[in-house]
Structure 1
Amino acid sequence: MGATVGRLGFGFMRLPEIEGADGEKTIDLDTLCGMVDTFMDAGFTYFDTARGYHGGKSEAALKATVVDRYPRESFQVATKLPAWLAKDADDARAMFDTSLEQTGAGYFDNFLLHNLGEERTKLFDDFGLWGFLAEKKAEGLIRNLGFSIHDKAAVLEEVFDAHPEVDFVQLQINYADWESETVESRKCYETARARNLPVVVMEPVKGGSLVKLPDAAADVLRNADADAPLASWALRFAASLPGVLAVLSGMSTPEQVEENVRTMRAFRPLANEERAALEHVRAILDGIPTVPCTDCRYCVKECPQGVRIPAALASLNILALYGDERRAQENYDWNASDGPASSCIACGTCESVCPQHIGIVRELARAAELFEK
């Protein structure tokens, strides 16, 4: 599997919408077709979707705007199987055929086991999905098999040890999380590269938060290059890393596509002074007061209510760092809704095991008020 540096991927996660007469929002396929055309006309060909994206409608949208409109050999399709949404092994395996039907792709250039980490990793083994997907690969329905993961480097290493057959991995990498104790972007990237595995980068702009920097941080980048959009710094940081197969951007407007295409069509790796500017930005972000959660998850193990404490605290930190209400809410909905902060019974067990001595009960009350409206 050849790795190409500086390649832009179109993430079909946050798509343009229109509101119907009944008030319901649907994907704006006409606008999306134009966005796809701009992307393809610029020479970019990698599309990333998943069973659960956009309320389960993303794969069908990809069929309507890409697969049905372009020759199959002119683009690459990646999608993902979320075992954690399945009732049982049969249900999980049926998702593969559903994705084939929904996308109309005929085969998948890249197929991923979706969102490993925490207790989710075990489900893929319990349902026998690794062997099942290896069979699909042998049948020619999958060209490259990999997985996406939101977890720490030690967990990533465990998955690699258990499944050395993987062809690539999809990781959350951006300059803000590069040295994060919670995300461990750098450590995860280095773990993958030690195995000589190509990396697909997700969240390079941190769900859009890195275009909503505090003024002090944004001014650093504007002073370094007044003409460079804030998003371009994030894309170029990820694309400058050796072994990166694709840098995914979840583009939701024509303007975002046009801006990102301009950045990546004329891609140039970051120069030393540009890296220094990003380090300065990271230092500014690190200096903003946040909840000092390191995602050790001791609190989760002890919580009698199963509250997703680190996810709730992460949403509070997104607000503190970037003022990004949409992204903070999105993170909460994706990662904390099955263990909401409002379930907290204020027993204090979490606080008794927290190495950072966080007032977790107080912070969960704040998260419930902000994100459970």
Structure 2
Amino acid sequence: MEERLFENMDIRTALLGFGAMRLPLDGKGAIDRAEAEKMLDLAYENGVTYYDTAYTYHNGESEPFLGAYLKKHQRSSYLLATKLPQWLVNSLDDAKRLFEEQLTRLGHEYIDFYLIHAIDKTAFVKMVDLGVVTYLEEEQKRGRIKHLGFSFHSIYEDFDYIATFRSWDFCQIQYNYLDTEEQAGDKGYELCTKLGIPVIVMEPIKGGSLASLPPDLEGKLQALGTKTSSAAYALKWVADHPNVKVILSGMSTYAQVQENLETFADYTPLTKHEVETLEEIGSIMRGRVGNGCTGCKYCMPCPFGVDIPGNFALWNKFRMFDNYAVVKQMWEHEKEQDKRPNSCTECGQCVPLCPQHINIPMDLKRVQSELEQAQR
């Protein structure tokens, strides 16, 4: 198993990490514990040392399940990561209560890697003002948190602010060969490298999307003449970044665990031609988007409740993959229907607010039309 060294902590860990967000489910929608334990056994026996969960994963079931599983093994043989759900924190007491609850759920006396979950600048400033960051620093001094970091899903400007605010032990970002210009992206990775912040990567296969490319792009990978799968290529692209210390995979099946273990059992860097091919595929996919929405949310809130950046994100993802299945669940979600483009009245209030100069009402019509047609 390929390993990486966290130089600032003198910790060596397996490059492949196990994300407990997409565990297999039984017929009632709960974690299929027998199957999930088989998957975890396979990972552990083959050298996986980093296990990641969060307060809300699997409706709160992930933390107690993973904690109980890991307690079967010697404590020094694994690293446990979980996250503070900052959106549930409106006071310092909330943060204290949630942290104590997480320790109880996990059945552990300390957490190796603790993250402020899915933070952006606004939420981070709130955590600072409430005294939550100071509280977590105190828990680190007490030893109940070994290493403190954050996970991130916002724009680069927010990432720059948070990453440079204090000295972080690590951070977790979404990073893959398609998202080089999204969220933290290449600039975020480079900033972390400059600051000496080790990077843990989530969504290296973009929720599985990069494991199933459009036929014309899959053909470009097959033309390389290797037996490497599209998923393995995506993982290797991330692995070729030396400041990436753990690549999290939210594995849902035993077969996925097997394939990912094989990818890192005898890891070799990509060739120059392979890298160029992946970069070409990423460029082609980005070129298929409907517009240049960056998700900055300057257009929000819409007075009529339309989720403008959310709709554009779904539209652009649908176009990139040329596959309605990748957006079907979110587009058809019953509770999201009032936020769809049909609610737009073309008032135009959003148009002058867009730094990308997008004709938002016109593009919302295109979103509705194209996705309705794909839905049929």
Question: Contact (CA 8 Å) 1:173, 1:203: kept in 2 or not?
Answer: yes
Partner of 2:270, secondary structure, is coil
Alignment CA distance shift 1:2-1:152 (3 Å):
farther
Partner of 1:282, secondary structure, is helix
Aligned residue identity for 1:25? G
Aligned residue identity for 1:276? E
Matches within 5 A, 1:93-172: 93-164=96-167, 166-172=168-174
> Which residue is 2:22 aligned to?
14
> What is the CA–CA distance in structure 2 between the aligned matches of 1:3 and 1:321, rounded to whole Å?
38
Q: Deviations over 1:336-357 (max 9, x none)?
A: 9699336645422112333444
> Which residue is 1:267 aligned to?
267
Q: Which runs of 5+ in 2 are unaligned?
A: 1-8
1:249 aligns with 2:249: yes
> Which residue is 1:310 aligned to?
309
Range that drifts further, 265-274 or 134-143: 265-274
CA RMSD of aligned residues (A): 2.8
Identity of aligned residues (%): 36
1:40 aligns with 2:44: yes
Aligned residue identity for 1:312? N
Matches within 5 A, 1:351-362: 351-361=351-361
Task: State TM-score, norm by structure 1.
Answer: 0.88
1:58 aligns with 2:62: yes
What is the count of residue pairs matched by the alignment? 362
Alignment CA distance shift 1:127-1:36 (3 Å):
same
Q: Deviations over 1:314-371 (max 9, x none)?
A: 122112212455653667799x969933664542211233344434335556469879
Alignment CA distance shift 1:224-1:41 (3 Å):
same
Partner of 2:109, secondary structure, is coil
Task: State TM-score, norm by structure 2.
Answer: 0.87
Q: Which runs of 5+ in 1 are unaligned?
A: none
Partner of 1:207, secondary structure, is coil
Matches within 5 A, 1:277-288: 277-288=277-288
> What is the CA–CA distance in structure 2 between the aligned matches of 1:284 and 1:262, rounded to whole Å?
29
> Which residue is 2:6 aligned to?
none
Range that drifts further, 351-360 or 312-321: 351-360
> What is the CA–CA distance in structure 2 between the aligned matches of 1:5 and 1:232, rounded to whole Å?
20
Partner of 1:120, secondary structure, is helix
> What is the CA–CA distance in structure 1 between the aligned matches of 2:364 and 2:263, rounded to whole Å?
40
Question: Contact (CA 8 Å) 1:308, 1:338: kept in 2 or not?
Answer: no
Deviation at 1:202, TM superposition (A): 0.9
Q: Deviations over 1:172-229 (max 9, x none)?
A: 1100111x2x434100101111101110011111111101211111111111144111
Alignment CA distance shift 1:246-1:225 (3 Å):
farther
> What is the CA–CA distance in structure 2 between the aligned matches of 1:4 and 1:229, rounded to whole Å?
27
> What is the CA–CA distance in structure 1 between the aligned matches of 2:13 and 2:39, rounded to whole Å?
23
Q: Deviations over 1:246-269 (max 9, x none)?
A: 000111111111100100111112
Question: Contact (CA 8 Å) 2:221, 2:277: kept in 1 or not?
Answer: yes
Partner of 1:106, secondary structure, is coil
> What is the CA–CA distance in structure 2 between the aligned matches of 1:55 and 1:324, rounded to whole Å?
28
Deviation at 1:105, TM superposition (A): 2.5
Deviation at 1:25, TM superposition (A): 1.3
Alignment CA distance shift 1:119-1:309 (3 Å):
farther
Q: Deviations over 1:260-300 (max 9, x none)?
A: 01001111122212111111212221332423212343212
> What is the CA–CA distance in structure 2 between the aligned matches of 1:325 and 1:112, rounded to whole Å?
33
Stretches of 4+ moved more than 6 A in 1?
330-334, 368-371
